[in-house]
């Protein structure tokens, strides 16, 4: 028996045992919707034995109401359905326009009237918007909204319209398409991506998607930001996308979208480093229909997007050209009325020429990217009885992430200006994934209580096989060094970086299960369940060549592999309650508690792999001939080491010793969430809501400086103050301001103590160790408190809208030694062309003072490194109105508080020689201006036949013509 079938069989056995023993709360990785209903007589009494027929997206489905008069249809594709209820002696009810949404439960109560003659009553009233079966925060973006609202047309733009979600960039008319955003939701950074139930999160870059998407293939998109759903592991925003499918009606569409720089008004400062559209071209086609009516359907799509951007104020500016291609297919087969088989295939590719283009990068400092990705899925759903449902899925993806430097020479970095001269590295990374998933639902009645018992199981295997390194083209001159970099005024003097390539083979495995019960009793619904996660990873054998110019500094390494350093086992309880008020049950009170846990990524596992990252050593460099290129004889490797990372300083060629180590008791970081709110349906199709969320996050993984040779872990107690950064002090590493710390822009002042490693310990260890000991922060937590206001109007009576406003506070609580080992905000220069923070809140989040706001630095693609996410308020309004003569008018209004400006200065400790980035302002002291963007659309629908039309539209973005500053160079001097 193959390994896959052993895992699959084990998963099915677990499902059966869970279904018979302990039930669960929701479908595992729920990728579709559900319809729940009740048939009653004119006195409100239950009607068992009613024949119920559901018609819509696929073949008609049939059920019979149970003893409580209830029926249910699970695993439905989003769309519009017709429900027919028939019982002898009663009029037949035909309920039309029943909308089923992604990840939501649509609920109906239908009244059948006594009738002595055969009669049919057609009901066109809209189905309720409120979901009383689960507690969840977030949003569902319908097909009508996807089609009609002007956006930058990618999933990250959709996130911007979800309550409380903030992004590190603004995508105006597609200017940021083809690049992924860092996003935050309710205090949590990043999240997950699911397409047709398939995990598309890049497990080698948690929070990123493994691929890019064809926007017009989406049938519906759901974003979950909190609640009691046990299918969700982490606390971030989770994007659940489902593509279109074939139906009994032949349908399709084609599109051409175009914009050029001639459509763009130039409202920017000519010295600013802006992103300017040269042209954006998008076209595609999708079509579907029956191969065998009521049995077999096929759908397919092709899309291409060409995004050409000019970045920076230089003449000529840096160019970034991105091509996105997508090919999608879906086959649905309903051989039996009780069985549904779905086969999905998808292939995408991203080509970028000029990735990383920024205001301080010339063309030679960018890279060219390839990102081919193939995804497939086989899923089967079975209705065993009217009370028993189950489904199983096997899916996989094979992806590649490649970067090739446009500049092939030595890396060059000017510490005075932040100027990066040539491309920093190449990358060749294979990232395959395999996934098995299943769930089972059983409905039963005990007295007056209805039960929905559910259980689910998932197995995910993700791997990364990556080679990363510096360019190593043949030297231009015989004495030029290879795999080195030239760094001007970086560690208090000019330095040469000596590099060894990364060659990592890492695998991670994830097991998860959930079980619980949804208990219904008239107006009351109670959810109670628990989720279990088990995560771990290991490093496989690999080899890396030594530095060709300095093999004694960084020799070759033959790594034999490494077993798992830790295993995370976590139980996450989930509970929710809803109660419906009013005669029509149009007001719902909801409350929930949930625990979420962090995920393991290949990047975390690889921290103790000697080849899990590239290695670097920095030594004094005397550019004797003044050509700006490092020659072998110009580097003083017998001088004191200025900095190092990624290798064992005592024995850099040791194949079994990493510069880093894990706490053997390392645990997953945990978020506890409490949510309470009220939703009210003002009238059919129009609902408003208010909710309050309180979260605490504890146990974040962070790194303490660590010396592998002696096992020394450096804590904050090992540091001493050596000075205070103030305007005019001589501690800043700058030369353009006469070697003194300048004032903040605008003349602002500051006074920040700076620390260095105790001189005695620094002498013993040879400076700050280059490795880190990764453990949990035990005396630190983040607290999120926020209110969401929402309004949703389904498309009817010629208009639709979705609006929200969020106000929140996201702060940190710091106890004794609650920050990282270095009191200087926990920030170091891990490499001279960018710093990495190991303090609270993520990358260089700012100060480590109690009650400070948490602001996390962007880690998304593109030049957004000076963006720190934290807005106390954010709002969004999307709306569309259908005018006479087939004209439609739509608008999108988005706004948020400006992000913090975290100014920092660089300084080098006189005794430990470590350069540090010292944040000078608290995250809420200085902010960019409030950001507001208004986008408009006017379209005209031109009917061709009764079933075909052409739509001509014009979108206008940033109608207020604001030139709001989004980021500045935040290193003073």
H helix runs in 149-273, sequence order: 155-159
Give phi and psi for 261, each to the nearest 5. Answer: -65, -20
* Residue 424 pLDDT exceeds 60: yes
* Residue 14 pLDDT exceeds 80: no
Q: Find the angle CA(783)-CA(785)-CA(791) to the nearest 5 degrees.
A: 150
What residue ranges in 666-735 does DSSP mark as E strands? 670-683, 686-698, 701-707, 712-713, 719-725
Q: Yes or no: say if 20 and 454 are a contact pair by the CB < 8 Å rule.
A: no
pLDDT digits (tens, 9 = 90+) for 759-786: 999 888 877 787 889 999 888 899 999 9
Q: How far apart are CA 41 and CA 37, in angstroms?
A: 14
What's the sign of the alpha-carbon dihedral 471, 472, 478, 480?
Answer: positive
Task: Provide the whole-model pTM.
Answer: 0.90
SS3 780: strand
As a whole number, mean pLDDT of residues 45-58 equals 90
Confidence of residue 660 (pLDDT cuts 50, 70, 90): confident
Q: What secondary structure, in 3-state letters, does 241-269 show?
A: EEECCCCCCCEEEEEEEEEEHHHCCCCCC
* Residue 7 pLDDT exceeds 60: no
pLDDT for 409 equals 79
The percentage of residues in the chain with a pLDDT greater than 90, rounded to a whole number, is 57
Tell which residue, 790, 838, 787, 829, has the closest CA to residue 810. 787
* Residue 17 pLDDT exceeds 70: no
* Residue 589 pLDDT exceeds 90: yes
Q: Yes or no: say if 781 and 812 are a contact pair by the CB < 8 Å rule.
A: yes
pLDDT for 847 equals 65
Give phi and psi for 263, each to the nearest 5. Answer: -90, 0
State which of 121-130, 161-170, 362-371, 903-912 shows the largest mean pLDDT: 161-170
pLDDT for 633 equals 93
Q: Yes or no: say if 966 and 901 are a contact pair by the CB < 8 Å rule.
A: no
Confidence of residue 31 (pLDDT cuts 50, 70, 90): low
Mean of pLDDT over the chain: 87
Q: Yes or no: say if 677 and 689 are a contact pair by the CB < 8 Å rule.
A: yes
pLDDT digits (tens, 9 = 90+) for 249-295: 999 999 999 999 889 887 777 667 777 899 999 999 999 999 999 99
H helix runs in 668-739, sequence order: none
* Residue 594 pLDDT exceeds 60: yes
Q: How far apart are CA 690 and CA 701, in angstroms?
A: 34
* Residue 832 pLDDT exceeds 60: no
What are the structure tokens assigned to 262, written together? 């001639």
pLDDT digits (tens, 9 = 90+) for 864-919: 878 889 999 999 999 999 999 999 999 999 999 999 988 888 888 888 777 777 88
What are the structure tokens assigned to 304, written together? 């291409």
Q: Rg (Cα) of the chain, in Å, rounded?
A: 29
Q: How far apart are CA 297 and CA 330, in angstroms?
A: 8
Tell which residue, 648, 646, 701, 921, has the closest CA to residue 206. 701
Other beta carbons within 10 Å of 68 = 17
pLDDT digits (tens, 9 = 90+) for 466-495: 998 887 666 777 788 999 989 888 777 899
Confidence of residue 29 (pLDDT cuts 50, 70, 90): very low
What residue ranges in 737-859 does DSSP mark as E strands? 752-757, 771-776, 780-796, 799-814, 827-831, 834-837, 856-857
Q: Yes or no: say if 510 and 535 are a contact pair by the CB < 8 Å rule.
A: yes
SS3 606: helix
Give whole-number Cα distances, 452 to 32, 68, 74, 229, in Å: 17, 13, 12, 14
Q: Yes or no: say if 891 and 934 are a contact pair by the CB < 8 Å rule.
A: yes
Return the residue matching tokens 């397409």.
195
The percentage of residues in the chain with a pLDDT greater than 70, rounded to a whole number, is 92
Q: Yes or no: say if 178 and 307 are a contact pair by the CB < 8 Å rule.
A: yes
pLDDT digits (tens, 9 = 90+) for 132-170: 888 999 999 999 999 999 999 999 999 999 999 999 999
- How far out from the chain centre does Cα 513 lie? 22
pLDDT digits (tens, 9 = 90+) for 610-657: 888 888 899 999 999 988 889 999 999 999 888 887 787 777 877 767
Give whole-number Cα distances, 442 to 38, 99, 436, 649, in Å: 17, 24, 21, 59
pLDDT for 829 equals 38
Residues 6+ apart with CB under 8 A from 781: 696, 697, 698, 812, 813
Q: How far apart are CA 792 and CA 801, in angstroms?
A: 6
Give the chain's length. Answer: 973
pLDDT digits (tens, 9 = 90+) for 293-340: 999 999 999 999 999 998 876 667 888 999 999 999 999 999 888 899
* Residue 27 pLDDT exceeds 50: no
What's the sign of the alpha-carbon dihedral 223, 157, 810, 860?
Answer: positive
pLDDT for 738 equals 63
pLDDT for 474 equals 67
pLDDT for 210 equals 95
What are the structure tokens assigned to 596, written together? 């979420």
Tell which residue, 195, 177, 174, 222, has the closest CA to residue 34. 222
């Amino acid at each position: 028996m193959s390994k896959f079938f052993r895992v699959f069989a084990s998963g099915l056995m677990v499902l059966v045992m869970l279904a018979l023993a302990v039930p669960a709360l929701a479908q595992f990785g729920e990728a579709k919707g559900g319809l729940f209903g009740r048939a009653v007589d004119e006195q409100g009494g239950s009607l068992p034995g009613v024949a119920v027929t559901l018609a819509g997206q696929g073949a008609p489905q049939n059920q019979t109401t149970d003893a409580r008069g209830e029926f249910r249809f699970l695993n439905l594709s989003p769309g519009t359905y017709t429900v027919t209820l028939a019982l002898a002696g009663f009029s037949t009810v035909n309920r039309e326009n029943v909308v089923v949404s992604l990840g939501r439960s649509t609920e109906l109560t239908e009244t059948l009237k006594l009738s002595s003659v055969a009669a049919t009553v057609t009901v066109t009233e809209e189905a309720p918007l409120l979901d009383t079966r689960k507690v969840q925060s977030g949003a569902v973006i319908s097909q009508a909204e996807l089609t009609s609202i002007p956006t930058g047309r990618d999933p990250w733009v959709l996130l911007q319209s979800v309550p409380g979600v903030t992004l590190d960039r603004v995508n105006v008319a597609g200017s940021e398409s083809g690049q992924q955003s860092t996003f935050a939701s309710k205090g949590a950074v990043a999240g997950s991506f699911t397409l047709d139930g398939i995990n598309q999160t890049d497990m080698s870059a948690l929070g990123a998607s493994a691929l890019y998407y064809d926007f017009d293939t989406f049938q519906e998109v759901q974003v979950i930001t909190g609640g009691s759903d046990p299918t969700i592991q982490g606390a971030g925003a989770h994007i659940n996308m489902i593509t279109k499918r074939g139906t009994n009606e032949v349908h399709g569409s084609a599109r051409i979208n175009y914009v050029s720089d001639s459509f763009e008004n130039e409202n920017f400062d000519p010295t600013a480093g802006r992103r300017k559209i040269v042209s954006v071209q998008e076209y595609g086609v999708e079509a579907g229909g029956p191969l065998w009516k009521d049995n077999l359907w096929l759908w397919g799509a092709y899309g291409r997007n060409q995004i050409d951007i000019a970045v920076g104020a230089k003449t000529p500016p840096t160019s970034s050209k991105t091509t996105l291609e997508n090919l999608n297919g879906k086959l649905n087969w309903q051989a039996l009325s009780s069985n549904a088989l779905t086969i999905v295939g998808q292939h995408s590719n991203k080509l970028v020429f000029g990735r990383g283009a920024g205001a301080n990068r010339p063309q030679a400092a960018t890279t060219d990217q390839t990102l081919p990705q193939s995804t497939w899925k086989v899923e089967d759903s079975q209705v065993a009885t009217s009370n028993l449902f189950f489904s199983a899925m096997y899916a996989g993806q094979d992806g590649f992430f490649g970067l090739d430097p446009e500049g092939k020479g030595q890396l060059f970095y000017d510490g005075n200006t932040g100027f990066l001269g040539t491309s920093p590295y190449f990358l060749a990374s294979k990232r395959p994934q395999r996934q098995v998933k299943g769930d089972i639902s059983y409905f039963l009645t005990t007295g007056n209580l209805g039960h929905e018992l559910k259980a689910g199981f998932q197995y995910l295997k993700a791997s990364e096989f990556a080679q990363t390194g510096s360019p190593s083209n043949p030297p231009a001159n015989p004495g030029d060094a290879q795999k080195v970099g030239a760094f001007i005024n970086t560690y208090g003097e000019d330095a040469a970086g000596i590099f060894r390539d990364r060659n990592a083979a890492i695998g991670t495995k994830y097991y998860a299960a959930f079980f619980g019960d949804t208990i219904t009793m008239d107006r009351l619904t109670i959810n109670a369940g628990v989720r279990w996660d088990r995560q771990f990873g290991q490093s496989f054998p690999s080899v890396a060549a030594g530095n060709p110019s300095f093999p004694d500094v960084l020799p070759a390494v033959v790594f034999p592999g490494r077993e798992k350093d830790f295993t995370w086992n976590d139980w996450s309880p989930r509970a929710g309650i809803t109660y419906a008020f009013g005669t029509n049950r149009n007001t719902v009170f909801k409350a929930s508690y949930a625990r979420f846990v962090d995920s393991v990524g290949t990047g975390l596992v690889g921290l103790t792999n000697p080849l899990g990252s590239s290695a670097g050593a920095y030594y004094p460099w005397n550019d004797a001939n003044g050509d700006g290129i490092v020659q072998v004889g110009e580097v003083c490797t017998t001088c004191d080491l200025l900095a190092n990372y990624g290798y064992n300083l005592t024995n850099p060629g040791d194949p079994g010793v990493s510069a880093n180590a894990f706490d053997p008791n390392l645990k997953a970081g945990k978020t506890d969430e409490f949510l309470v709110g009220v939703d009210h349906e003002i009238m059919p199709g129009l609902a408003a809501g208010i909710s309050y969320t309180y979260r605490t996050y504890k146990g974040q993984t962070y790194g303490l400086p660590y010396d592998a040779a002696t096992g020394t872990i450096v804590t904050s107690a090992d540091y001493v103050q050596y000075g205070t950064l103030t305007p005019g002090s001589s501690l800043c590493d700058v030369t353009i301001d006469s070697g003194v710390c300048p004032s903040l822009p605008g003349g602002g002042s500051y006074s920040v103590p700076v620390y260095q490693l105790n001189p005695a310990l620094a002498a013993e260890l040879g400076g700050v160790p280059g490795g880190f000991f990764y453990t949990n922060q035990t005396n630190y937590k983040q607290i999120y408190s926020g209110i969401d206001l929402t309004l949703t109007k389904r498309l009817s009576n010629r208009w639709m809208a979705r609006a929200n406003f969020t106000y929140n506070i996201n702060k940190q609580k710091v106890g004794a030694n609650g920050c990282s080992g270095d009191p200087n905000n926990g920030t170091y220069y891990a490499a001279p062309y960018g710093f990495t923070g190991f303090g609270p809140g993520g990358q260089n989040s700012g100060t480590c003072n109690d009650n400070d706001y948490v602001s996390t630095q962007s880690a998304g693609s593109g030049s957004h490194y000076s963006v720190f996410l934290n807005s106390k308020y954010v709002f969004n309004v999307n709306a569309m109105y259908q005018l006479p003569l087939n004209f439609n008018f739509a608008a999108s209004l988005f706004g948020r508080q400006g992000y913090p400006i975290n100014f920092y200065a660089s300084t080098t400790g006189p005794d430990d020689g470590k350069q540090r980035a010292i944040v000078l302002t608290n995250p809420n002291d200085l902010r960019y201006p409030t950001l507001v963007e208004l986008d408009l659309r006017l379209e005209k629908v031109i009917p061709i036949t009764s079933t075909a039309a052409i739509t001509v539209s014009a979108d206008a973005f940033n109608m207020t013509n604001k030139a709001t500053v989004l980021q500045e160079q935040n290193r003073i001097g």
